[in-house]
Structure 1
Amino acid sequence: MCTARFTHINETFDCGYCGHRVIPHQHGSCRNHCPSCLYSRHLDINPGDRSSDCGGLMPAVKAIIKQMDQVTLIHRCNQCGIEKSNRSAPDDDFEKILEIMRHSN
Structure 2
Amino acid sequence: MINQQNFKKINEEFSCENCGKKVPLSEKTCRNHCPYCLYSKHVDKLPGDRANPCRGLLKPIGYHFHSKKGLMIDFKCQRCGEKTRNIALLEDGIQGDDYDQILALTPRK
- TM-score when scaled to structure 1? 0.88
Task: Give 4+ residue runs of structure 1 displaced > 6 Å after superposition.
Answer: none
By how many angstroms is 1:34 displaced? 0.2
Structure 2: runs of 5+ lacking an equivalent: 91-95
By how many angstroms is 1:5 displaced? 2.0
Higher relative contact order (CA 8 A, sep 6+): 2
Structure 1: runs of 5+ lacking an equivalent: none
Give secondary structure in 2 for the equivalent of 1:59.
Answer: strand
Question: 1:61 corresponds to which letter in structure 2?
Answer: I
Give secondary structure in 2 for the equivalent of 1:97.
Answer: helix
Q: What residue number does 2:19 align with?
A: 18
For the residues of structure 1 that align with 2:80 and 2:12, how far apart are their CA atoms? 25
Q: What residue number does 1:62 align with?
A: 62
For the residues of structure 2 that align with 1:73 and 1:88, how far apart are their CA atoms? 6
The answer to whether the aligner puts 1:100 opposite 2:71 as a matched pair is: no
Q: What is the root-mean-square deviation in Å for CA atoms of aligned residues?
A: 1.8
For the residues of structure 1 that align with 2:74 and 2:64, how far apart are their CA atoms? 8
Q: What residue number does 1:34 align with?
A: 34
